Structures are given as C-alpha cells and as structure tokens.
Structure 1
C-alpha cells in the first residue's frame, strides 16, 4: 500500500521553510523517484539516450570489435626448451588469461609392454639359475684327485669320464630290467673311460675314448689293463694312471652308473639311434632290428654295453657310447627340452642324481662339461679313440689292447699344447 504523503500546510504552499521543501520533493517524485532538477543537464529525452549509450555499445564500437585482429595461436617452443613457468603465460594468450596446460594422460600400453619385458627378463635369469641349481643339488661329490705325483697344469680343461658297471643302489627289479645280473655283479669296473678336453685356444672340443682293456703301467701294480686301476683303487688311482701315461693334468672327474645312464635317457624322452644291423645280445638284454628307432633307457643301456656279438668288440662299443652321449646331450640341450619345465626339471633331477663328480668341482665346472660334450659330439667337434697298434695283445692278464706309441704320444702332445685342431690328422 503506497505511503500517504504528508499534508500540505500553509508553510509548504508558500515554499518557505524546510518542511515545505521536503513535501515538495515528495510530491514531485514518482514512487519515490526524485524529479530531475530543473536547469541541470540535458532534457528528459537526451537523458534517456545518454543512459542507453552507456549500457549498449554504439555502432562505431561494434564495427571496431568486428575488425579487431584475432590473436595468433601460441608458437611451438624449440626442442629442449622448458615449458612455461607457473607465472608465465603461454605465448599468444591474451593478457591476464590463465596459461593453457595440456592434460597428461598415462600411456597404459607402454606401461604394459614394460611390465611384460621386465617379467621376461626376470624369467630369463631366474629360470636357468633355478634349473641349474636343481640339478646341482642332486649331484654327489667324491674324493677323486690323484694322490701321487701329478703333471704340471696344462692349458684348457680336461675331464676324465667314467661309466661304471657298479650295481650299487640298484634294486633287484632294476638289475633284472637292465640285464645287469651274472657272476660278476660284485665290485666296480669301468665299461667306459673317456677324456674330454675343452681348449682355451678356441679350437674344437675333443672327446677321446680309452678302451677299457688298454695295456698300461698302473702305479704300484706293474702293467695291467687300465680297467684294473679303477677296480683296485677307484677314481684316484685311475686318475693317477691316466695322468702318468698321458702327461696331461686332469682337472675334473665325472662318473655315472648303470641306473643313472638309463634314467637320464628316460628323462629326455628317449633317443633315436640307427644301428646298421639287427642286434640280439642276451648278455646285454638287447634284441632290436636294424634301422633308426627310438630307444628308452633300458634299450639304450643295452645298446651302449653289448660287445660280444659285435665284430669290432670293444672298439664298436666305445663308438656307440660316444654316439649315445652325443644324442643325449643334443636332446637335453634342445629348446623343446629346456623351455619345457615339465621335462627340464625332471631331467635336471635325474641327471644330477646320476652323476658323481670330484670334490673340487663347482656348478660352473659341470655346466662347462655339458657344453664341452655338446661341442665335441657336434658337427665341428672331434670324436675319436686312442690310436691302437694291436687290439689282441696276449698278456698275463688275458687279451689286452696295445696303443700305437708314436700316434698316441703325438695325440697327447697336441692336447698338452691345447691344439685340438691338430687331432684331425689322426682321425682321417
């Protein structure tokens, strides 16, 4: 409800007095808006135009806005230049405007790739170390070093490899399975004696078979078959005998037995061998046809042992033994075996438990032995038998094998000089 104006009195009508002036100002206003004083500024219409111009830009102002140049985008900074600082506006930005900061998004794909690479690196390091440790933890070590006077150290690394016919640790069922029974099951003899030389000079590795009936001087026991040294004094006497007759310093000793050999073959999933003729040998428990075939541990053991039905006797046997070792090593080192943990770890356990090494050997020496075996039995390696002049030498201890003195001395001389390439002349 509008307020009531104050009543006019005589003083207000005459315009005299302060109260009359207030009443006059009230009646001259509309809803409390005072009337523009007369005689001050433009008229009523001009006042409206002035207010409208103050609120809305004029035509000239609008045309000026249309012709104002658009600011250019910020120029790219040279490579290596630091981004704008916290208080520094981006180039081309209007004065006082907040700098434009690009939003950083994490590169999810790159992080995933880096994570996969990191996992693969860890596996590439951890897997072979775990596999090697699994095998090494099962290896047995014995005192095998020679107890007599030893030759001076020779370059390269020489391993003495022995395949024992000892039945120790075999159950009666295994003795029957491997056809390892008979009158001579007690004691220890060697079915296999080999030297593996891995040169430092970069030449080929050499695997050399020593026939078990080789006629040599045995320290403290006159001349005898080299097999007798192992039967009399075990690994230390056999190593002393080999060192004295060859002049080589034997660095390490590796031995396996009947059961261990068969378990290694089974662990790699069998090996493929190609006998030229069918074999039927009752003493070795072997009855196989001619031609290439896969052999399990039992069959491969018999194939490595038989000699009585072989026209070459022990010389044919040592050749088959080297062939078998090459097939086992090649398959064990293949990606199909090593990259399959369900095959690699059982193989490491079986191989480790089947091997006996000297007390001075380490896991590094065992790895070096496996690499040397693979090289020696490969295409570029050297696989041979000690040169022989008489395979049927009659002695007081039965028929023995006499070495070719000149060629054998030349062979051992090349090994002592670490010149395995020179051995090729003896194998041709």
Structure 2
C-alpha cells in the first residue's frame, strides 16, 4: 500500500515530503501529479526578508523603473546623470538679463526727457512780440538770436577773466536770423553797426533798438526793415557763450590768421585748434584784428555758434549723463527764450543749428554799414517765401559784400 501524506505534509514513515515527492535520491518528479497528491507552491519571500541562497525559485524579481515620458516637441531630452550630455541652458537667466536691460533703457529715456523739463522750469521767458502791425505768418520758421553784452550777473572776477570791462547798459553784440523750412537752413548775421530806421528814433545803429526798447523794439525794427516775421526769440548773455562751451567740453575754432586783441583778452595762433569757453568768447567778440572790423567778428560768431551746435547735438552728449546734466543746467543761467517756446522747440532750434547750409552776412554796400537795397531785398524776399534753395552764391557771402569784392 502506498504511503499517504499526513496532514502536516510528512509521510507516515517519516520520510521528508520532498523525498516522498521526488524520491530519496532526488529523482525527477512525475510529469503529472496524481489526483490524491498535494501540490506544493514555491514560497515568495517578503521584501524585508532575504531570499535563500542558491534557490532561483524564490529569488526576488529585479525592480525596473517605469520609462520616462517623452519630451515635449522642440525640447531636447533631459540627459541622464553620467550620460556625458551637456545640461540644457536655463532660459530664466536670459529672460532676467533682458528685463534688466529693458529697465535700464527705460530709466535712461526717462532721464533724457526729465532733465530738460527740470531745467526748463528755471528758464526765463522773454516778451518779444511787439504790438501793432506785423508781417503776416510766413512758411518755415525764423529764429532771432541775440547775444547781449549785458554784464549783469557777472562777478568782478568773471569780468576780468572774460575781458568784458564794466560798461553799463544793455546792448547787442550779436544779431542773427536763422531760417528753417523746406529749403536749406540759412543763418544770416546782421552787423550791430548796421544803419537802419529804428521806429521812434530815426536812422541809427540797429543795436541801439535793443538799448532803447529791449527785445520788442529790436524785433519790430528787424521786421520793419526786412519784412521777415520773427517766430521765435533766443537771447544769450555775455557769459552764456563761455558757459555753454565749457559745458560741452570745448569747441574747435579755425582762425585764418593769428589774433591778438587785448580788449577781448585774446591771443591765439593761426589754424584749427581747441578752444575753451574763455577763448571762444574772446574769438567771438574780437573786432580789432581785421580791417573789416565788425564784419569779421560776425563771421567768427557764426563759426562759434555752429561749433557749439555740433557739440550739443553730438551722440556723446546723450551718452554721457554728466555732460548732459551740465549742459541743460547751464541753459537757465545763460539763455532766455521767447514766451511760448518750450523745450521741444528749443531742441528743434538746436538741431537746426547743427545743419546750417548757408551762412552769410546781410548784403551790404559798404563797411559803413549800409544795407545794399537791391541785393538785401532779394535775399529777404527768398527768406520770406521759404525759398532758400534758390539763393545764388553771390548773394549769401561771408562778409555781406558782393562776391566780386570779397574774392
């Protein structure tokens, strides 16, 4: 009779169960178990218990992590540690740098706008428009620029430094008309000794109009004698020219001969050279080193004004915050502008000064200084009609004399 397993899985004869199942010598089990046999399942060890050595049937399965999700379109896969791939660049740092640059740019633009408006709050407005009949509005814009030789505001040390003396009263060393429009920009000097009719005072020197009645009488005198309507007014004090030149770091002047004028405190050599405010002012004021006197002086004045305009509007002015601040804060101390003129109009005037195409003296017939009635009226008419592009070369000359006379 075949031994049957006991309830605890051990045969009645004491033979171990696996001997009973597979034979005492470890033979192979039968292909199919008998119906009355108990099937023994392999024991799976718990995760916290080690598997019996050498028993493949109870070895714990190897854990394999789930696969990573595919990267979104357009993005390189994230490298695995030790894979040798370069980690992707962080976009957050680039965006932060762009934001910083944009903030700095906005702050700079605010500075460029705020400084002129701040300086403009301290600028004096000048009532320059005369009452009564005036020329009708004309195309283009005509600016009247007046250089006052008033010593007001200059200390005794500054008067000595600039060689201005102690003359009382207020006169005009410089009178210029700048016309801008569809044609070339034209800058025309009016010699201060020009003999014209001053309303209420008869024929006298044109700078007397300023001494008698200030800006209003000077504007009325110019409009009455030229027929040109004055749209804007700019006045520069005697020390203003030197102050602005120093604010922009100096200008270049090109005297055609050596100049020594003790009255203007000037002593310079021939040729192009850098000039500070003191030298530039003396160069613009001197009239005793040439046989054409005031005519030569207004030529130097136009040269200095144009050089200042070039420096003021140079890119370095807008890049250098110190220079920009110094320049705009020099304006209230040295400049006065006509009522109604704002910082934008002043900027347009400054830009026009950097691109003067025609520079001349009002046409004169002699050094006395009488205006040439035919030639001057021809030039005035072209300005009134905004046709500066039609001005012939012989009409706009550096001295105001005909081209054949000046050479």
TM over 0.5: yes
Q: Deviations over 1:148-199 (max 9, x none)?
A: 31111001111100000000111111111111115xx111100000001111
Separation in 2 of the partners of 1:230 and 1:31? 137
Question: How many Å apart are 1:211 and its aligned residue?
Answer: 0.7
Question: How many Å apart are 1:333 and its aligned residue?
Answer: 1.7
1:115 maps to what in 2? 99
Structure 1 gap segments, 5+ residues each? 1-24, 36-42, 56-96, 393-400
Superposition RMSD on alpha carbons, in Å?
Answer: 3.1
Q: Deviations over 1:10-37 (max 9, x none)?
A: xxxxxxxxxxxxxxx99554279xx9xx
Higher alpha-carbon deviation: 267-276 or 309-318: 267-276
1:193 maps to what in 2? 175
Question: How many Å apart are 1:139 and its aligned residue?
Answer: 2.1
Question: How many Å apart are 1:51 and its aligned residue?
Answer: 7.2
Contact persistence 1:254–1:358 (CA under 8 A): yes
Q: Deviations over 1:364-415 (max 9, x none)?
A: 1101110111111xxxx111110001222xxxxxxxx111111111111111
Are the structure 2 counterparts of residues 190 and 31 from structure 1 closer, same or farther at C-alpha, using a change threshold of 3 Å?
farther
Give the paired residue count. 340
Are the structure 2 counterparts of residues 98 and 331 from structure 1 closer, same or farther at C-alpha, using a change threshold of 3 Å?
closer
Are the structure 2 counterparts of residues 213 and 44 from structure 1 closer, same or farther at C-alpha, using a change threshold of 3 Å?
same
Contact persistence 2:141–2:179 (CA under 8 A): yes
1:386 maps to what in 2? 362
Are the structure 2 counterparts of residues 336 and 50 from structure 1 closer, same or farther at C-alpha, using a change threshold of 3 Å?
farther
Separation in 1 of the partners of 2:38 and 2:10? 23
2:313 corresponds, among 333, 339, 349, to 333
Separation in 2 of the partners of 1:112 and 1:50? 74
* Runs of 4 or more above 3 Å deviation: 25-29, 47-55, 97-106
Contact persistence 2:147–2:236 (CA under 8 A): yes
Relative to the length of structure 1, the TM-score reads: 0.72
For 1:3-22, list aligned pairs within 5 A.
none
1:158 corresponds, among 142, 148, 151, to 142
Q: Deviations over 1:271-290 (max 9, x none)?
A: 22122222221211112222
2:389 maps to what in 1? 421
Separation in 1 of the partners of 2:253 and 2:326? 23
Contact persistence 2:292–2:367 (CA under 8 A): no
Question: How many Å apart are 1:108 and its aligned residue?
Answer: 2.7
| Pairing 1:47–2:33 present | yes
| Pairing 1:127–2:111 present | yes
Contact persistence 1:160–1:196 (CA under 8 A): yes
Question: How many Å apart are 1:264 and its aligned residue?
Answer: 0.8
Question: How many Å apart are 1:101 and its aligned residue?
Answer: 5.8
Separation in 1 of the partners of 2:381 and 2:372? 14
1:409 corresponds, among 372, 377, 386, to 377
Question: How many Å apart are 1:100 and its aligned residue?
Answer: 4.5
Matched residue SS, 2:228 = coil
For 1:68-83, list aligned pairs within 5 A.
none
Structure 2 gap segments, 5+ residues each? 12-16, 18-28, 44-66, 76-87, 397-402
Contact persistence 1:139–1:354 (CA under 8 A): no
Question: How many Å apart are 1:308 and its aligned residue?
Answer: 2.2
